[in-house]
Amino acid sequence: MYDAWLNGHIPKNWKKAAVLKIKNKITVAQLEVSIYSIDTAHLELLKQNIRKFNWDKNVTVRLMD
């Protein structure tokens, strides 16, 4: 999700899990993509899966606290 597209109107039940920074942007609209959990009961599991995923070398992952 591109945060700018939400124009500050992020649903209250959505929690940001991570931000992906894309180097050498070719196919994305913006350099950063946010990943949200829409169910807080699954937020930590989502973060674990993001951490374990084998990301492309051009992607920097920043997990949210």
Q: What is the pLDDT of residues 15-60, one digit of tens each?
A: 999 999 999 877 778 889 999 999 999 999 999 999 999 999 999 9
Query: pLDDT value at position 33?
Result: 93
Cβ atoms of residues 21 and 8 within 8 Å: no
Q: How far is it, in rounded angstroms, from Cα 58 to Cα 65?
A: 23
Confidence of residue 1 (pLDDT cuts 50, 70, 90): confident
Q: Which of 12, 27, 11 is nearest to 59 (CA)?
A: 27
Strand partners, 19: 34, 62
Query: pLDDT value at position 61?
Result: 98
